Amino acid sequence: MPSEHLPSDGPGAGPQVERRSLLRLGALLAAGGAAALVPAPVAHAATSGRGTDTVTTTYTGRSPYGNDQWAYVAFDVPAGVRRISVSTTHDGSAGILDLGIFGPTGFRGWSGGARSGFTLAASDATPGYVPGPVEAGRWSVVLGPMVSSPGGMAWQVDVTLHHGAPLPGAPYDILPGAVPGRGPGWYRGDLHLHSVHSDGQRTVDEIVAAARREGLHFIATSDHNTSSTGVTWNGNVPADLLVINAEEVTTRHGHWLAVGLPQGEWVDWRYGPADQGAFEGHARRVHSLGGLTIAAHPLTPAPGSFWEFGLDRVDALEVWNGPWTLDDAANIAAWHVMLCLGRRVAAVGNSDAHSPADAVGRPHNVVRADSLSTPAVLDALRTGRSYAVESAAVTVDFTARAGAAVAGPGEELPLSFFDAVDVTLNVTGAPDSIVTLYTEWGIMAATCIDGSGRGQLRWRGWGKASMFARAEVRRPRPASTTLDQLVAITNPVWFYSARLPPYDVERRVLFHTERRPDGSWSGMRPLPGAVGAASFAGVQSAVAGMADGSVVMLGIAPDNGLWLTSVRGAAALGPWQRVAGPDGSTGFTVREADIAAFPDGTCQIVATAMDGTTYHQQRRADGGLPGFRAVPGATATSGWGATKVAITAMPDGSAQLLSYGTDGAMYHCVRGRSGTWTPWGRLAGHNGAATFAGPALAITGMPDGSSQVLAIGIDGIVYHQLRRPDGSWTGFRAPRGVTTATMGASAIGIAGTPDGSAQVVAVGLDGRVWHNVRRPDGSWTPFGRIPGPNGRDPFPAGQVRIAALHDGTTHVVAISADTT
């Protein structure tokens, strides 16, 4: 909604106000808007001109402090009136006065706060208002006061009725439903554009010209709360550009785009979440007309713009709205969570252009449609057969292959458990950027694009280890409120059929296996779950080997709750215990956690909460949990924010922590035996880079007082380095892969053993779990596959960790699909 300015064009309307700035009053208006859509009282003041052809009646009123309110100024129109003119004045310092009108047969126009007056007749109307006959009967001027002043806001409405001879009608052209001669292909378009019919500054002709310059194939004119745009095309319908009729339904509780409406069709906005079923009813009507519903800029942090209606009737989320901001980054993060939960809601990006300073088509959508027609384009958008780009210079070719089957964004590629899937992403027009591939497990692979703007990313996944794959292209250059800029984002390729929801058909459960001192494996087996469940359904895990020969495990459940249990021997399992939060609440949720065991029988747990705050606690030798406390940050009074975190125990009783900070860089600190913390220090990257960034990390302590760090870089390659006992670092190096010079992976773990070696586990780019050993002399054994439940077949997983015991055994935990 950038540049959504509300110019005044009448006397006394006050200074120009930007809608988003007013709505950001947030807490001030929230209290005043407690009652939903309450009409304000109106006083009739005076009528002048009786007995003449022009009669003016003045109405006055005062609206209280608040946002959710309407004032209806009702008046009667006798036969013979040919034109209605309305002008308003209000105290502009007290807020905004939105404006519209309804006639005896329904909606006749809306201009919000963009105008202080209008006129309408059969022959013409002010933009935003619908030309047509002036029917005799009851009319109502509707006012939408958004009042920021505690004392309320006074306003005045002057209604003038013009008598006279009948006026000719205002015919309009029907928008073609298709551009002839355009068959299957990729088409570019912008679905969120404002004209002079609401608070935009372009005419529709100027929008068409700007769309042509950007290289677009289709546009949707989506003015706020009005249908007037669609009924004013007359002799100017473009033959080469598909124009889709739309409306931005601008409620006081979120905006949504109704795209693909018949010309003249209008969607009401006067409701809130408390009006149960209101939004759903309007959305059903849009769907019945063949249209599309899109939640516009859903996480804009402002009352009136923040989406409050739920997503049951939403076809798509506008995750990218105009120039890239932190609001858009939040939209994408929320959308990704929805994908992880199996919600198939498409992502779109639009310019929301209002003024000539706002570039039409930046960003825009690229859809794969059967034709350049309204039904085909809307179908492609609804199913997610699309991606969004910053400009027409950028193209993305995103495909997934399994055998002879191929799928692109928004399409399904159902896989059996052991099917390999090869994902390829080709990008052009994106110089000096980073391409990243995501699944529900996070970043799986990444690569850099040089100044040529051309790049390719390849990744191999395995069967149902992932639900979907999607891609982003970002430029590591600061924007207005972010450290990077989005260049492109794709909708996901789905690896299961929508007819078989993944969490109903298969569950991600926690598996465990033991590697004996002779190098043999016990075979993967699912661990029993909490409260008598056959298995523990989880999304992440961690493990630590205790001095008494037991193993303590952490599991993060699908609801992000943190659980803890212990294993002794090959089969004995203690009960799962829900780990409480810092305030003792059992509703504590985390996105990352790790655990380390100490010689005195205690354990230390670190966890990153959903808001990024990192917490720590020490589990007593008797199993008691004293509670989490925030890990100190850059100052003594600040907490440490992180996206990933790991911990290891050292022989002297201290603990070393590793994390990716909120800036994406890798940091290290030490918690002394007495509980004191050293400052966080940033680690240098590979090959002289200033920092190291990536999707995964792990750390283990060694008997000689050194520690070893394992991490996956943003290039998807596994790196390793040693921290010497004196605190110096050797620098990152990449161990050799299975058959290549480096090892690509999506998840890792490392554990130091009593003989001075370190054992490594990794989920390779084939989706299988691999294992190798770094010997005390620094040499590496080859990677070997960890066998599955039958002791033979390789084991696919999405996440893996490892812990060592003093007798030379190691224990591996992994999250994989339950196929039982």
**Cα–Cα distance for residue pair 175/116, rounded to 1 Å:** 30
What's the token pair of residue 671? 């918690």
Q: Is 295 exposed, middle or buried (0-12, 13-18, 19+ CB in 10 A)?
A: buried
C-alpha distances out from residue 133 to 54, 167, 369, 560, Å: 17, 8, 40, 60
Q: Taken in order 477, 482, 488, 489, is the CA torsion positive or negative?
A: positive
**Cα–Cα distance for residue pair 167/134, rounded to 1 Å:** 10
Name the 3-class secondary structure at 65: coil
Tell me the β-bridge partners of 471: 437
**What pLDDT does 572 receive?**
56
**What pLDDT does 351 receive?**
98
**Cα–Cα distance for residue pair 180/373, rounded to 1 Å:** 9
Q: Structural domains in the chain? A: 5-163 (2.60.120.380), 172-392 (3.20.20.140), 393-500 (2.60.40), 507-817 (2.120.10.70)
> Where do we find the tokens 């921290």?
723
H or E, element range at 12: none
438: phi then psi, degrees, rounded to nearest 5: -120, 145
Which residues, in sequence order, are CB contacts of 322 under 8 Å at separation 6+? Answer: 1, 2, 3, 350, 351, 352, 353, 358, 362, 363
Task: Dump strand ranges (E) for 429-571.
Answer: 433-439, 442-449, 455-462, 468-475, 485-490, 493-494, 508-515, 525-526, 540-545, 550-556, 562-568
130: phi then psi, degrees, rounded to nearest 5: -100, 120
**Cα–Cα distance for residue pair 816/797, rounded to 1 Å:** 4
Quick one: DSSP state of residue 40?
A: P
Quote the mean pLDDT of the chain.
Answer: 89
**Cα–Cα distance for residue pair 427/81, rounded to 1 Å:** 61
- How are beta strands 455-462 and 420-428 bridged, if at all? antiparallel
Helix, strand, coil fractions of the chain, as percent rounded to 5: 10, 45, 45
| Apex 492 CA angle, 486 and 497, nearest 5 | 170
**What pLDDT does 508 receive?**
78
> Where do we find the tokens 């007359």?
234
- Give the per-residue SS3 of 369-390: ECCCEHHHHHHHHHHCCEEEEC
Residue type, 481: T
Task: Dump strand ranges (E) for 173-315.
Answer: 185-193, 218-224, 242-251, 254-259, 292-296
CB < 8 Å & 24+ apart, contacts of 779-787: 780/735, 780/736, 782/736, 782/738, 783/737, 783/738, 783/743, 786/513, 786/521, 786/524, 786/761, 786/812, 787/513, 787/521, 787/523, 787/524
**Cα–Cα distance for residue pair 677/433, rounded to 1 Å:** 37
Q: Taken in order 29, 35, 39, 41, is the CA torsion positive or negative?
A: negative
**Cα–Cα distance for residue pair 731/724, rounded to 1 Å:** 11
**Cα–Cα distance for residue pair 815/740, rounded to 1 Å:** 26
Measured in whole angstroms, the distance separating CA 493 from the mean position of its chain's CA atoms is: 17
For residue 341, which of 437, 438, 443, 468 has the smallest C-alpha distance? 468
Q: Is 524 exposed, middle or buried (0-12, 13-18, 19+ CB in 10 A)?
A: buried
Is residue 126 within 8 A of residue 111, CB to CB? The reply is yes
Is residue 35 within 8 A of residue 44, CB to CB? The reply is no
**What pLDDT does 465 receive?**
64
**What pLDDT does 16 receive?**
31
**Cα–Cα distance for residue pair 365/292, rounded to 1 Å:** 15
**Cα–Cα distance for residue pair 188/380, rounded to 1 Å:** 12
Question: What is the widest separation between alpha-carbon atoms in the chain?
Answer: 109
Residue type, 738: V
**Cα–Cα distance for residue pair 82/314, rounded to 1 Å:** 41
Quick one: DSSP state of residue 128?
A: T
**What pLDDT does 560 receive?**
83
Tell me the β-bridge partners of 470: 438
**What pLDDT does 108 receive?**
98
Q: How many CA atoms lie within 13 A of 78 on its CB side?
A: 11
* DSSP character string of 241-264: SEEEEEEEEEEBTEEEEEESPPTT
| Residue numbers of the chain with a pLDDT score lower than 50 | 1-38, 501-506
- How are beta strands 655-661 and 666-671 bridged, if at all? antiparallel
**What pLDDT does 748 receive?**
96
For residues 425, 367, 246, 376, the Cα torsion angle rounded to the nearest 10 degrees is -150
What's the token pair of residue 41? 């009282």
Tell me the β-bridge partners of 748: 762
| Apex 270 CA angle, 248 and 161, nearest 5 | 95
* Sheet bearing 681-682, strands edge to edge: 642-649, 655-661, 666-671, 681-682
